[in-house]
A and B are shown apart, each in its own frame.
Chain A
Amino acid sequence: RKEVEQDPGPFNVPEGATVAFNCTYSNSASQSFFWYRQDCRKEPKLLMSVYSSGNEDGRFTAQLNRASQYISLLIRDSKLSDSATYLCVVSLAGYALNFGKGTSLLVTP
């Protein structure tokens, strides 16, 4: 079983829509959680860390459910520029990151 699992998508949504991605992880001892964004043929970049209490950054909201070993990312008011692959990332001790395969998002006009 892969340590971090995501729905690969693609998710096709119109501009202005709200879209949510989910991710599950297998190791209950995991300590750190992140969402990275990767544009086509580019390097991954940190979108946001995910904290136990949940956190928001503008149109993006991340939630963590430790009991269910589940992480989510909510994007409100989708923009064309949000089109990318979103990588769920989990770590046991903050350095050795385990990446999900990514969820592809396409925002259409």
Chain B
Amino acid sequence: DADVTQTPRNRITKTGKRIMLECSQTKGHDRMYWYRQDPGLGLRLIYYSFDVKDINKGEISDGYSVSRQAQAKFSLSLESAIPNQTALYFCATSEARSQDFQETQYFGPGTRLLVL
């Protein structure tokens, strides 16, 4: 079984709809992240969480919200989807390494979202 899973894998929705993307991990990592990837723009950080009680905005948090329901679960919500939120969304996890800062991030398989 995959260590980082995302549901759904593909989603088509309409402008104005609320949708939730879910991420679960079995790696036991404290840190979790949500990114979006757009052609020509690379990966951009939306939100990140260092533990269940810690949520931080990333580079492009407007229009998104998150919930860290448990160490293993981190959900991303689009309260009112708009077409420019059409993108590939990745969840990632990492384990804190204060000794050398060489944290590897492990990505889920991604969710393809199309907002019409």
Hey, which bits of chain A sit against chain B, CB under 8 A?
A: 31-32, 34, 41-46, 49, 87, 91, 93-97, 99-102
Hey, which bits of chain B sit against chain A, CB under 8 A?
A: 31, 40-45, 48, 50, 58, 90, 94, 96-98, 100-105, 107-110
In the complex formed, the residue of A with least CB distance to B39 is: A101
In the complex formed, the residue of A with least CB distance to B58 is: A96
Beta-carbon contact of A95 and B107 below 8 Å: no
Q: How far is the CA of A41 from the CA of B10 in the complex (A)?
A: 12
In the complex formed, the residue of B with least CB distance to A8 is: B40
In the complex formed, the residue of B with least CB distance to A46 is: B104
Number of A-B residue pairs at CB separation under 8 A: 54
In the complex formed, the residue of A with least CB distance to B101 is: A94
In the complex formed, the residue of A with least CB distance to B50 is: A95
Q: How far is the CA of A93 from the CA of B94 in the complex (A)?
A: 13
In the complex formed, the residue of B with least CB distance to A91 is: B101
Cβ contact of B43, chosen from A46, A87, A94, A95, cutoff 8 A: A87
Residues in A with CB closer than 8 Å to B110 are 41-43
Beta-carbon contact of A95 and B94 below 8 Å: yes
